[in-house]
Amino acid sequence: MQLLKAYKEIIDINAICSVTDPEGKIIYVNDNFCEISKYTREELLRQDHRIVNSNYHPSSMFKELWDTIQSGKVWRSDVKSRAKDGTFFWLDSTIVPIHDDNGMITEYFSLRTSIDDRKRIEEEQKEYVKNLEKMLFMVSHEVRNLVSQILGIVQLLQEADTLDPESLDLIINLKTSASDLDLFTKKLSSFMHKMRPVPDSNSDSVSVKSK
């Protein structure tokens, strides 16, 4: 019992915890949950977790959540929630069904950690790549326009057939360089396209573990 008490104390100190009954009504929250949600314990008890629903995720995600935990499996995902004052926060959330000696689910234990910093960094990276791609598109567009003009002029000079051998060699080198530059911009554009972030579907990956 002392070991279990120690485990509980460690979890309460370092994580955001709640426990619900089989219907999803909150029957326990620790201080960290109250602090991040900005609700008092009294405001949270007997409510369900829709009280902190941000309306960011599709309803299908929460249906999958319930289907998973009611089948006795562990559910885990990143969840965006909303505090009482309207601010948003991200949590790495794990929900574990608790069974009695007969295998019946008596409670659901939720263990969460704040991932606001990670989500902020992810958003900053997405924005950086987006802006970089936009800048590259503009540069590529301008460069390829110039390359097209250069190649057009080169073609006209070659067709004129009035150049001496030395000038013709210079024109051929110019044409080769312009073609290489055009190919480089195409490769660079293709690379940046592959670096483009995956479109946000308002739903993060969900992992499920067996009972």
* pLDDT tens per residue, range 83-98: 999 999 999 999 999 9
- Structural domain including 80 reads 2-114
Query: Tell me, what CATH number does 67's domain have?
Result: 3.30.450.20
Structural contact between residues 88 and 78, judged by C-beta atoms closer than 8 angstroms: no
For residue 177, what pLDDT band results from cuts at 50, 70 and 90?
Answer: confident
The residues facing 79 across adjacent strands are: 91
| Tens-place pLDDT, residues 128-174 | 888 887 887 787 777 878 888 888 888 877 777 777 778 888 888 88
Residues 82 and 127 in one domain: no
Total tally of structural domains belonging to the chain: 2
Domain membership of residue 209 (yes or no) is no
Query: Rounded to two decimals, what is the model's pTM?
Result: 0.67
Q: Is residue 79 part of a domain?
A: yes
Which residues is 53 bridged to in the sheet?
81
